[in-house]
Amino acid sequence: MSPVLDTASIPPRDREEVVRNAVWESMVAVDIDHGPPPEDISVRIGLNGVGPLRLCSARATAVTLRRTARLAREDEEPAVTLGVQMAGSSMVVQNGRQCLLRAGDCAVFESITPYTLLFDDGVDHRFIRFPRAALALSDRLLRDVTAVPLGPDNPLARLAFTYFSQLAVADELHHGAHGEAAVQPSVELLRAVLTTQQGNSALAREPLEATLTLRITQYLQKHLADPDLSAARIAAAHDISVRQLYAVLSRSGISLGDWIRARRLAECKRELAGPNGRLRTVASIGRSWGFVDATHFSKVFKRAYGISPRAWREQNHPRTWV
């Protein structure tokens, strides 16, 4: 089951602090102003995650959430949150705009600029938080679509409402293979909603390739130590051809072989200079990062850093002679 916070079991004097801590730790840092006095505060929140996505299902008495300029400046992990209005109404204010959400509407807001969420009649809402980088959308586009109601006029938004309102509460989708499989379709759906909201089909296509590059490089980083990390394997993992793989990376200024080699060498360099650098042979460290031939490893390391891997280790771990 999803972790649930229910203030019914919390003493009134502690409710504001408990709610604040749960929201800050699980979703985002915001100032929270409850409408009713502590004894009348009622909050029930379900919290969960699917990969990098953070999910929150909330029902509560009247409340105002403020992301202040100070909190926005301190943001260490920029995010875009989709708010899904299940019942009643609420108001989103950001970037000089305000929008009224009614049941069936959605809107997005960014963590890197101040915003206010007003739930004057209580909360019946679902929040899905996306890493900003995963959406691969321009600053301008995101600025233009924040605090804009995504609803009846956008058929993709209607689809997104149904999908995300269920994703936020479907425990079976929050774990294991099913959860991982839901991440990318979720990102793609929100991106499609936001780009088509601008009425520009070209914008809808551009970010798809941008996020494909991001997904590929994340895959490469995850499998960097695999000696059989080949173009064919990478392409198959992303349902594209090898030719398309090279084309996509090339348009982002990435040479596949050079990218992999540079990062593998950097990891080897780090390990050789690290506290355990003498616990394994140079060849063993090279093999652990995909360099199966010790001679080749030594040659490319020296070409990259101007020093052999053995000399680099000696430089960072000089022997002590007694």
Same domain assignment for residues 242 and 182: no
Same domain assignment for residues 68 and 187: yes
CATH code of the domain containing 14: 2.60.120.10
Please report the pLDDT score of residue 132 as a whole number: 87
**Confidence check: pLDDT of 176 > 70:** no
Question: What distance lies between CA 166 and its chain's CA centroid?
Answer: 19
- DSSP classification of residue 279: S
- Report if residue 238 sits inside a domain: yes
Print the domain residue range for 94: 4-199
Paired residues of 49 in beta bridges: 54
Q: Give me the number of domains the chain comprises.
A: 2
List of E strands, 95-154: 97-102, 106-110, 115-119, 123-131
Same domain assignment for residues 189 and 46: yes
Per-residue pLDDT band for 322 (boundaries 50, 70, 90) equals: very low
Cα–Cα distance measured from residue 218 to residue 224, given in angstroms and rounded to the nearest whole number: 10
Same domain assignment for residues 72 and 123: yes
Whose tokens are 């985002």? That residue is 28
CATH code of the domain containing 282: 1.10.10.60
pLDDT digits (tens, 9 = 90+) for 248-286: 888 777 899 999 999 899 999 988 988 888 888 999 999
Please report the pLDDT score of residue 200 as a whole number: 58
- 262: CB partners within 8 A, 6+ apart: 304
Same domain assignment for residues 187 and 234: no
- Report if residue 138 sits inside a domain: yes
More confident residue, 255 or 180: 255
Q: Average pLDDT of 64-71?
A: 96
More confident residue, 75 or 104: 104
- 115: CB partners within 8 A, 6+ apart: 66, 67, 92, 93, 94, 109, 146, 147
How many degrees, rounded to 5, is the angle at CA 26 between CA 132 and CA 177? 75
Q: Average pLDDT of 30-38?
A: 95
Per DSSP, helices labelled H in 96-200 are: 132-135, 139-145, 155-167, 176-197
Same domain assignment for residues 134 and 16: yes
Please report the pLDDT score of residue 101 as a whole number: 95
Instruction: Please say which residue of 161, 183, 199 terminates a domain.
Output: 199
Cα–Cα distance measured from residue 35 to residue 13, given in angstroms and rounded to the nearest whole number: 15
Supply 66's token pair.
Answer: 């403020």
List of E strands, 53-102: 53-60, 63-67, 79-85, 89-94, 97-102
Same domain assignment for residues 72 and 194: yes
Please report the pLDDT score of residue 244 as a whole number: 86
- DSSP classification of residue 307: S
